[in-house]
Structure 1
């Protein structure tokens, strides 16, 4: 049960960090909320539920081909560590939230789906980070892998929904220092996960 809780907590932390960090989907969530209200922003926020079914399935099938090759998984883990370090440094160096994005149409869900499909973030995350975690979770049980996925998407989408609601009610939310400090503090979370992935990669190489 301890291991199951660890995977759930990992999913929650990674989902929350990904959900509130600046990126194409968050930019569109905020833009739609500002122009058309919170409901439009929420439609964009839930788009990963649609797009990631295909994205994650393809990536996991790809990674399954290399699951028994420790050297390949090791290099993926080390690559994931460097990617997390990059995300951590970016979060720590965040000085302001500049997510300007012009929108004219109100097809919010459609635009969210397109933006997420074209964004490199979900592909990089599931290849370098999410995929290896799921395989490790499956060594414990399928339920532990489900906990990670549930925690990740619950916070990834949930945090964006909350931001859409807050932005729809108050345009000053993005200028709030608490939001900025939260993003910066999550840089440390990325660093912790980077250390974990680096350690795992080096152990597999040895």
Structure 2
């Protein structure tokens, strides 16, 4: 079980550190609302990957190739939508302030959507961790549980560290926050455009 736990930790760290839509979205939200409002979003992969794992392990191999292309296109459009919201926030930028409590649930929902509409988790689970999970589970379910536990605990801890590190940028002043917010918006737009063109 220790071997599968270590594999889960390693792959979880790699997945959390890989640049992508989700990381760019976390960056934008941290700079817009602060770490307290953004921190609950570390649970988004845990909430969104359940359906992803089921789809990948049970159905993805039986679906036509164009299905992944449709998903990639939809994810690209959603990333552009998030980028537009980031640029609107940049235009009307104000130093981080408390946002309405209702926004936390909405932000978590959007973070879950980012993962569900992003082909990255589907590819990751179909090519990397999915086969490993199945192999371990066939030996004993404990191996599979060890892999999943290591994977998701590491992802959440790493993402929390990422958010806290970004929140420290507030000490650099509003100009630094505006700059980083602009970078996150550009990153979201770039990911969206890339996904749309790669789906055609």
TM range (shorter): 0.5 to 0.7
Scaled by the length of structure 2, the TM-score of the pair is 0.61
Aligned to 2:17: 20
Q: Deviations over 1:96-141 (max 9, x none)?
A: xxx9x81759432121011111111110011111110011112321
Aligned to 1:192: none
Gaps of 5+ in 2: 63-82, 90-98, 173-200
Aligned to 1:10: 7
Matched, 1:120 2:119: yes
Q: Please say if residues 25 and 45 of structure 1, whose CA atoms lie closer than 8 Å, have aligned partners that are also in contact.
A: no
Q: Please say if residues 51 and 113 of structure 1, whose CA atoms lie closer than 8 Å, have aligned partners that are also in contact.
A: yes
Aligned to 2:53: 56
Q: Deviations over 1:68-121 (max 9, x none)?
A: xxxxxxxxxxxxxxxxxxxxxxxxxxxxxxx9x817594321210111111111
Matches within 5 A, 1:118-197: 118-171=117-170
* Count of residues in correspondence between the two structures: 138
What is the Cα-based RMSD across aligned positions, in Å?
Answer: 2.8
Q: Please say if residues 19 and 160 of structure 1, whose CA atoms lie closer than 8 Å, have aligned partners that are also in contact.
A: yes
Task: From the two aligned structures, give the one with the greater helix fraction.
Answer: 2
Aligned to 1:204: none
Aligned to 1:89: none
Q: Deviations over 1:143-175 (max 9, x none)?
A: 010000111111112211111122113357xxx
Gaps of 5+ in 1: 66-98, 173-206
Query: Which residue of the other structure, out of 42, 46, 50, is the alignment partner of 2:43?
Result: 46
- The structure 1 segments of at least 4 consecutive aligned residues displaced by more than 6 Å after TM superposition are none
Match of 2:116, SS state, is helix
Q: Please say if residues 7 and 144 of structure 1, whose CA atoms lie closer than 8 Å, have aligned partners that are also in contact.
A: yes
CA distance in 2, matches of 1:146, 1:63: 22
> Displacement, 1:64?
9.0
Q: Deviations over 1:169-193 (max 9, x none)?
A: 3357xxxxxxxxxxxxxxxxxxxxx
Matched, 1:36 2:33: yes
Aligned to 1:72: none
Matches within 5 A, 1:73-112: 102=86, 104=89, 106=103, 107-112=106-111
CA distance in 2, matches of 1:63, 1:148: 21
